[in-house]
Amino acid sequence: MKQLTADLPKPMIPVGGVPVLERIVTGLTRAGVREFLIVTGYKAEVIRSHFGAGRRWGITIRYVQQEVQDGTGRVVELARKFAGREAFLLGYGDILVRASAYAKVLREWVRRPVDGLLTVVVGEDPGKGAIAVFDRQFHLQELIEKPSKIEIRKLRRNLRNFKPWYNAGIYVFTPRIFEYTARLEKSPRGEYELTDALRQMARDGLKLRGVPISGGWWDVRDPAVLAEVDRRFRGGS
């Protein structure tokens, strides 16, 4: 985001006049979530000043600082005390969806709780994220980070009715996730990857169910995407 984040952390960049993170908090609040933990990093004071303790939204917000930016797996570890023995929803601060998507995820969890839920969408560039492979019950079988075109062709050839489900970055986990994030080793990128933990959970036979989401999904990763999303939300679409 270059100069756009000179004074703001990326989750606080406005979309349609409202910070991305505020849209996330509002969407989750509408879905019934009342207790939040926000993991902060760069320019944490901007986020804390804006949200405070959450009274404006009728919720409770706590904060924890990620001192070293060493991967999504370590972010989950920071939620261990907050979650305790209960299930929790995890979302990234630069992923935007409609409020109805959060409501769907939580309904799916109540309807049939498993060891975890993994949201997915169709149509994204698989080279920019992780492709999820599911069985007939829509339980995760494999998760491939940024697959090459050759790997995609191999999947299409080997799997009947293969569909390139793209990891949408919103999850529900039980505390079982912490057993796996605690054992993570650094990936070739030098980070502790949450996807590595999910892959191992699936290989160990734990049930991670996929939840397709619709109605709009945006990874606000660069100025081009930001401009598109800003137009959509300003237009009310």
Domains of the chain by range and CATH?
2-234 (3.90.550.10)
Among the listed residues 78, 110, 81, 85, the one whose alpha carbon sits nearest the alpha carbon of residue 176: 85
Model confidence pLDDT, tens digit, residues 14-51: 999 999 999 999 999 999 999 999 999 989 999 999 99
Global pTM?
0.90
220 touches 94 (CB < 8 A)? yes
Q: Which band of pLDDT confidence, cut at 50, 70 and 90, is reported for residue 103?
A: very high
Give kind and range of the element (H or E) at residue 15.
Answer: strand 14-15
On the 0-12 / 13-18 / 19+ scale of CB atoms within 10 A, 18 is exposed
Model confidence pLDDT, tens digit, residues 138-189: 999 888 877 777 777 777 777 666 677 889 999 999 999 999 999 999 888 8
211 touches 171 (CB < 8 A)? no
Q: Is the dihedral of CA 111, 116, 119, 122 positive or negative?
A: negative
Q: Which band of pLDDT confidence, cut at 50, 70 and 90, is reported for residue 124?
A: low
